[in-house]
Amino acid sequence: MKRSLFFLFFIALGMTTLQSCLFNGDEDDEDILGNWIRRSDFEGIPRSNAVSFTIGNIAYVGLGYDGEDDLRDFWRYDAALDFWQRVDSFPGEGRRGAVAFAIGNRGYIGTGYNADLQNEELGDFWEFNPDGPSGQQWTRKADFGGTPRYNSVGFSINGKGYIGTGYDGNWLKDFYEYDPDTDTWTQVVSLKGAKREEAFVFVIDGKAYVGGGRNNGIYEYDFWAFDPASQEWTQKNDLNEDDNYAVIRHAGLGLSVGGLGYTIGGMSSSTVLGTVWEYDPNADIWEKKNNIEGSARTHLTGFVINNRLFITTGNASGTRLDDTWEFKPFDELDDED
């Protein structure tokens, strides 16, 4: 009788352990890393759908939507001083859902949406020089090579810029390359897999990684790496692999630092997310990190300065935000800092 009871206890213990592994991904919550440190609030109007790029040791953040208006103001952030300062406003139409990236010592902004215009989708493209001959200087460049659109992804690799996906009345998957030396656009191979808007993107070692987003209300979970040198898209570990279903999102942020990629915040179904996932391209695996310590948010922006990762602004269920946080992926969570 005692042997039978011991056997039943052993089976129950085994089932409990198995369930724990299934729900926790073989990883105790105590082992999850990532610490968030509150930094100086963004000094512009609280907003969502802003853009950002980094030039040298300074990040630039602007545009976006405050719940009523599409904005044009721009700000610089000095991480060493933890200090925001206003710079010259964007001279084009105010907009949300634009894309931005830096090439060398120039920033670039294009596409987007303005609800007050007859043609709401935008295709203009602009260059920002923080050290122009008469100070900060915005210059209009050749219009984006595809259709006017918004909620696209943009990035730069090896001195070229890229914009693709988004929405122009149809969900899109086409991609275009920008050459700043010739001020020209060239269509490149389209994203494999589904069309989408509000995907996330990050760049690691000369390759862009694109995932998430939605297509006609359907959440996409495929994940792709783009090599501009070979014009090839390679499918990577899907975002719903094993316990990583929680990675699936739209309107989240993608950033990379130290050879690893991060997807932060966004929305899944009707839920605003504060979750953070880290991607290792060498192992092709996703790992959960500690959630955003501030409000969960969608349509946030962020940047990397000297291998330091920051997020700012966003939309928390209708409330626009202006808080700024630094994320340290390998530190233990400290609620006191």
What residues have CB less than 8 Å from 16, skipping those under 6 apart?
none
What whole-number distance in Å separates Cα of residue 192 and Cα of residue 80? 40
How much of the chain exceeds pLDDT 90, in percent? 83
Apex 204 CA angle, 203 and 208, nearest 5: 40
Helices (H), the chain: 2-24
Mean pLDDT confidence for 309-329: 98
Mean pLDDT confidence for 203-230: 96
Q: In the CATH hierarchy, which top-level class contains the domain 35-328?
A: mainly beta
Q: What is the pLDDT of residues 95-152, one digit of tens each?
A: 999 999 999 999 999 999 999 999 999 999 999 999 977 778 999 999 999 999 999 9
Does position 24 have pLDDT exceeding 60, yes or no?
no
Does position 12 have pLDDT exceeding 80, yes or no?
no
Using 50, 70 and 90 to split pLDDT, how confident is the model at 198? very high
- For residue 133, the model assigns a pLDDT of 76
Does position 171 have pLDDT exceeding 60, yes or no?
yes
Half-sphere exposure of 182 (CA within 13 A, CB side): 7
- For residue 336, the model assigns a pLDDT of 78
**Average pLDDT of the residues of the chain:** 90
- Please report, as a single letter, which amino acid is at residue 204: I
Apex 236 CA angle, 97 and 329, nearest 5: 70
Using 50, 70 and 90 to split pLDDT, how confident is the model at 243? low
- With 0-12 / 13-18 / 19 or more C-beta atoms within 10 angstroms meaning exposed / middle / buried, residue 165 is buried
- For residue 270, the model assigns a pLDDT of 86
Q: What are the Cα distances from residue 44, in Å, to 95, 108, 143, 293? A: 15, 20, 28, 21
Kindly compute the dihedral angle of the four CA atoms of residues 241, 269, 112, 56, in this order, to the nearest 10 degrees: -50
In residues, how long is the chain? 337
Does position 300 have pLDDT exceeding 80, yes or no?
yes
3-state secondary structure of 13: helix
Mean pLDDT confidence for 185-196: 97
What whole-number distance in Å separates Cα of residue 200 and Cα of residue 213? 7
Whether pTM exceeds 0.85:
yes
What separation, in Å, do the N-terminal and C-terminal C-alpha atoms of the chain show?
A: 56
- For residue 246, the model assigns a pLDDT of 66
Using 50, 70 and 90 to split pLDDT, how confident is the model at 19? very low
- For residue 132, the model assigns a pLDDT of 77
Q: Characterize the bridge pairing of strands 324-328 and 253-257.
A: unpaired
SS3 helix, strand, coil % of the chain, rounded to 5?
10, 50, 40
Four-residue CA torsion sign, 25, 27, 29, 33 = negative
